[in-house]
Structure 1
């Protein structure tokens, strides 16, 4: 009896230690770093998101949504025969507080923070076998030596990409496209009152004969 009690105690102790080990390996959110998923650019929001859109297109991403404030794209990979992966990347362009205080390297209104997050989904091939059976009148059901299988892709994992090198390469590529597209085009100058043509005077619209008749009436 004592041996059984000891065995149960050891088993419970083992379960507790394994549970503690699983908890210790989990990394909770610390919210301490802001550099991995964000990057500052000396450009407007529209310029930054346009550069991000071009960067995604240049790498084979299918752009799903693109505005002056955000861009998202997805790209498919197949590392193994029965494994499919998708990487979805989303960029949000927000005006930076530095725009209110221009410096030597940042003009007023030209500071933007790009917030970037990438999600990696993993799919595996799931095979389902189906056997064929045929019903023949009064004889009942007859099983035939034939089977079919339905192959479907099932999502087995989903994880946010946290590799700093992945984001650093993307930020550098966006920077290249910011340089290539140049500054925003200046708006056309507004037409001033001095540039507007004078309104046609009533006498200018009259023919010469009518002008002569008016002059004769005045005399």
Structure 2
């Protein structure tokens, strides 16, 4: 019995040493902070600190963030997201602009986003009911208070998240500064912004625009049978109008029949004889 006691102590020591070794492998959270210049949270722009913060403010406003600061060198804003009926998320953005002090008036923009998560917490209320014989009895009334409680808070460290933000800030920089720094504007589709819709065509197009689709349709349509030329119309001949008939001569007889002249005798033709 006494010989097994040292063996038990040795076994317990080994277990404690193994547990200590396992716990030592877990590094503290601050050990991940290397303080290296990864370029995730800052960018340098060839403008003053006020101009760079103004571009950052416009970038956040264009994405629906509510700005809560009025300092020309500090921009703060937040945006809410409702994931489910019982969870809520909020992103708080903080931007600080610091001038480098160089002759070219360059400024460095530092951005930091904090993600807070909230959950719905229900609290039931109860009341005490006093009874003369039994004493006080606690009975639930049935009412409850619902409130959002912060359950998590974390700094956003995604490189792509900040890359999209700083690229959007470049769009709102002054045009002269972008030309001096040779900053090329990226298309808005890469930033997740929709392209503007094309303007609708006029309702009354000109003759040239209307003839172009007709010509294209004629090229694409299959060859049809030859169409016979229209028959020539028969010549129209004008019929001369009939001459008006002469008016009938009206002979009025004399009042005395004896005054009428005798009818003339017909002239007889004389035979011609040869000599």
Asked if Structure 1 and Structure 2 have the same fold, meaning a TM-score greater than 0.5 normalized by the shorter chain, the answer is: yes
Instruction: State the TM-score, normalized to the length of structure 1.
Output: 0.67
Choose which of 156, 159, 164 in structure 1 pairs with 2:151: 156
Describe how 1:138-149 pairs up with structure 2 within 5 A: 140-144=135-139, 146-149=141-144
1:165 aligns with 2:160: yes
The 2-side partners of 1:19 and 1:156 are apart by 26
Which protein shows a greater Rg?
2
Distance 1:95 1:145, change over 3 A: closer
* Structure 2 segments unaligned to the other structure (5+ residues): 178-275
Q: Which residue of 1 aligns with 2:226?
A: none
The 2-side partners of 1:93 and 1:140 are apart by 67
Distance 1:9 1:90, change over 3 A: same
The higher relative CO (CA closer than 8 Å, separation ≥ 6) is in 1
Describe how 1:35-184 pairs up with structure 2 within 5 A: 35-97=39-101, 99-100=102-103, 108-109=104-105, 111-135=106-130, 140-144=135-139, 146-179=141-174
* CA RMSD between the two structures: 2.6
Higher strand share: 1
Give secondary structure in 2 for the equivalent of 1:178: coil
How many Å apart are 1:136 and its aligned residue? Answer: 5.2
Instruction: State the TM-score, normalized to the length of structure 2.
Output: 0.55
How many Å apart are 1:144 and its aligned residue? Answer: 4.4
Q: How many correspondences in the alignment?
A: 173
Distance 1:151 1:45, change over 3 A: same
Higher helix share: 1
Distance 1:145 1:30, change over 3 A: closer
